[in-house]
Structure 1
Amino acid sequence: MSRLPHKTVKLVGYVAMVGCWTAQVQAAATPITLVCGAANVEDMAALRGTPWIVGGGMGDRYFQGGGLHLIDTRTNRIHKAELAMAADARPEAPYDACPGPVSPAQFSAHGVNAALGPDGAYRIYAVNHGGRESIEIFRAAITSGTPVLQWIGCVLTPDTVMTNAIAAQADGTLVLSASNAGTARLPSFYALSQRPPAEQGHEWDGETAGQQKGLVLTWTREQGWAPVANSALPGNNGIELSRDGQWAYVNAWSGESVTRIPLDPARGKPVTAKLGFKADNIRWGDDGTLIATGQRATEQEVIACAFGDGSACAIPYRAAVIDPETLAVTPLYDGKGSDRFGAATVGLKTGNALWLGSLRSDCVARVTLPHRAAKALD
């Protein structure tokens, strides 16, 4: 796929791309394969240097019991991850204030991320809603077989935010994206799941979704959780950190945009690029660019499907390449959505493959990028 001509207009704290999406990026022109057997893999992260991708699992409509998944890119197979998560496991520093593991049967994984630890082993960070609201941390033991994920701690999250996505700095500092934040206490998803059936099903209002303001927060063992200045966006969603760990790239779902935010306001001001779709998760590609992915639908349409009773959302979606320096946006892939897969929430590029996850599907999707697209991106 060749790059489309566009004009970039720079404003104060804002970058807008004027251009169009053409048939060159339509799903019909690009082979797509469904890899099924894992439910609701809303987010994914690559274990770079290995053939493995770790995927979340949001569980039921109240985000209970989803777990983690592993994708072997050599065989294009996905399966539930083995979690070493014994009830008597002791947390490790810097996450040793954790009261203990959550029940593996309850554990769910909304946002996920991966980063190398000081010992050279990957740490897996998962936004958990199962049983409690927390960030659960695992160490990945990668041998010649399937990786085993050893639970090493957790950090309980504030009860005034709705957690969504997570990133981590090299020293273990957590950087959290919350979709909704305020001063009032919010019920946990577990508490919502325990309500009488007659009281369930009315928790999410698509009419007011666009009015919600989120937040980015950082966590250290010494200081706990702290808000990041100038990080309130219309529906904070996916998050990635710059290579030096000093800036956050944050998608705004309702705002249909991505914003680069300094974790220390002394470093500069936030800059925003408009995307034109419900920007969900954002991921580094293996080529130094970022991939933002989300739905092409209204808040009401996505929320109705996400918390409905169907097995998939036949909602169109889009993935776009973002230049981390200029925030210039380039089209990558458009999907129409089907009764098996739609409403993509994450796009992860490895080589000439684009892996897609969804908030509501029993499958992930693998898109083989056209030769011209792969050449332009690699």
Structure 2
Amino acid sequence: MAALLGCDAQQDYSCQSVGERTPICGFQAPEDIEVTPAGGKLILSQFGGITGSSAGSLVLFDPEAEQVKPLYPAGEPLAVDGADRAPLWGSENCPGEPGQAFSPHGIHLSQRDDGVWQLLAVNHGGRESVEFFEWRAEQESLQWRGCVVMPEGGFINDTVATPGGGLLATQMFPKDNYWALLRTLMGSKRGHVWRWRPGEGVDIQPGSVGSFPNGIQISKDGRHLFLNLYTENTVRKMDRLSGEHLGDVSVEHPDNSSWLPDGRLVVASHPPEGLIPDLCSDVHSGACGSRFLLVTINPDTLEKKQVLDHSGAPMGGGTVAVELGDYWYIGSFAGNRLLRVPSL
């Protein structure tokens, strides 16, 4: 999201710690992160840019060994002939793999009803879609298993899986519509959440219309959604089936959310500098120094707590945080690094 807004605040920060805040360099804009089911490693979405004009990738990072393994594009293509052909999980009209054009954004790891682990990835490369991958733990690999292409004007940011093999994806505002962007920055509610269910087309999730839907999370039991409305400065709790609004939490420009092992939701937040956050527009090396916050939310009481306020070296522009062992790992939409901090 952040590449749409703000100025070019690139800084060629060295890859050196500042106190207990340690950068881990050598990545391409690790915008979203998931912890592997067995723990110990991180799946990173290496952002290629909001327009899809630059390719990205999914990689596996082992913090203990400090090793990176390509996940996609990588490996063997999906078998298309023979009795052992893997069935597609996405829509029947999926045109095939995105291949080298793949440009990921938000990702979501979940377990399907049959116990198989699935990774969803928003893709801007070549099409506006959500791609399905099977996570194969023994090989530590991803196998592409299908896609859902968004309707005309689709411009998505994040995604979550829903019970029964479906998905939700946040629609920021109509794509390639400059006036829609300007109106969205002023609070116009031009966005919503797309909903897809197997055997059905894409429609709008009830209760999801809002201003710049960004990150989204779903409760473990699938009953509740937590929708980050970026230009409404709100995290909204919703009933997934009815769309009923169950409560709002005030969070400044909320980006991505993740579940912590203790059950809290942690939200990356971009405090505004004037009308909009001071975000970097085109940072490839070094890091973006823009200020960001991390805010935790109790999903039952909606009580919030700010746990981190950071800007500058060794990395700003945080978009997501996950906990692994004794540390939190923070990703960014820009630059070449993760930020590691002691658990908060």
The TM-score range, normalised by the shorter chain, is 0.7 to 0.9
Distance, in Å, in 2 between the alignment partners of 1:302 and 1:323 is 28
Could you say which residue in structure 1 is the equivalent of 2:118?
123
1:91: Cα distance to partner? 6.5
Question: What displacement does 1:30 show?
Answer: 6.2
Q: Which moved more, 1:251-260 or 1:310-319?
A: 310-319
Aligned 8 A contact 2:40 2:324 in 1: no
Alpha-carbon shift at residue 244 of structure 1 (Å): 1.3
User: Using the alignment, how far apart are the partners of 2:266 and 2:55 within structure 1?
Assistant: 28
Rate the CA distance shift 1:81–1:94 in 2: closer, same or farther, 3 A: closer
User: Does the 8 A contact of 1:179 with 1:236 survive in 2?
Assistant: yes
- Letter in structure 2 aligned against 1:47: T
Counterpart in the other structure of 1:360: 334
Counterpart selection for 2:293 from 318, 333, 346? 318
Q: Does 1:230 align with 2:207?
A: yes
What does residue 330 of structure 1 align with? 305
Picking from 231, 235, 254, the partner of 1:279 is: 254
**Contact 2:102/2:124 (CA < 8 Å) preserved in 1?**
yes
What's 1:101 paired with? 97
- How far apart are the structure 1 equivalents of 2:86 and 2:278? 37
- Alpha-carbon shift at residue 207 of structure 1 (Å): 8.0
Q: Of 195, 217, 220, which residue of structure 1 is paired with 2:194?
A: 217
- The residue aligned with 2:129 is 134
Matched, 1:56 2:51: no
Letter of the aligned partner of 1:236 in structure 2?
A: P
SS at match of 2:155: strand
For 1:59, what is the secondary structure of its paired residue?
coil
Q: State the distance in 2 between where 1:204 and 1:362 align.
A: 31
Asked if 1:81 corresponds to 2:71, the answer is yes
Which residue in the other structure is 2:57 paired with? Answer: 67
Give the AA of the match of 2:149: L
Q: Deviations over 1:331-365 (max 9, x none)?
A: 21121133x52110101123331110001011011
Change beyond 3 A, Cα 1:231–1:160: same
Q: How far apart are the structure 1 equivalents of 2:180 and 2:209?
A: 20
- How many angstroms does 1:289 deviate by? 0.9
Once residues 21 and 31 of structure 2 are traced to their aligned partners in structure 1, the CA distance between those partners, rounded to angstroms, is: 18
Shift in alpha-carbon separation, 1:49–1:233, aligned structure 2, 3 A: same
Q: Which residue of the partner structure matches residue 167 of structure 1?
A: 160
* Deviation of 1:66 (Å): 0.5
Alpha carbons of structure 1 residues 234 and 61: separation in structure 2 relative to 1, 3 Å: closer
1:150 is matched with 143
Higher RCO by CA contacts (8 Å cutoff, separation 6 or greater): 2
Q: Which amino acid aligns with 2:317?
A: A
How far apart, CA to CA, are the structure 2 residues paired with 1:206 and 1:81? 37
Unmatched 5+ residue regions in structure 2? 1-16
Report the Cα offset of residue 302 of structure 1: 4.3
Q: With structure 2 as the length reference, what TM-score do the two structures score?
A: 0.83
Shift of 1:273: 0.6
Q: Distance in 2 between matches of 1:251 and 1:95?
A: 25
* C-alpha spacing 1:309/1:41, structure 2 compared with 1 (3 Å): closer
User: What count of residue pairs does the alignment treat as equivalent?
Assistant: 319
Q: What code does the residue aligned with 2:335 have?
A: S
Question: In the alignment, does 2:166 pair up with 1:178?
Answer: no
Q: Distance in 2 between matches of 1:251 and 1:79?
A: 31
Q: Do the aligned partners of residues 358 and 161 (structure 1) sit closer, same or farther apart at CA in structure 2, a change above 3 Å counting? A: same
Matching residue's letter, 2:258: R
Q: After TM superposition, give the deviation of residue 80 of structure 1 in Å.
A: 3.1
For 1:178 and 1:256, the matched residues in 2 are separated by 16
Consecutive unaligned residues in structure 1, runs of 5 or more: 1-27, 189-201, 374-378
Q: Taking structure 1 as the reference length, what is the TM-score of the superposition? A: 0.76
Percent of aligned pairs with the same residue?
25
Tell me, what secondary structure is at the counterpart of 2:105? coil
Find the aligned partners of 1:179 and 1:271 in 2 and give their Cα distance: 21
Q: Helix, strand or coil: the match of 2:288?
A: coil
Secondary structure of the residue aligned to 2:29 is coil
Query: Is 1:269 matched up with 2:242?
Result: no
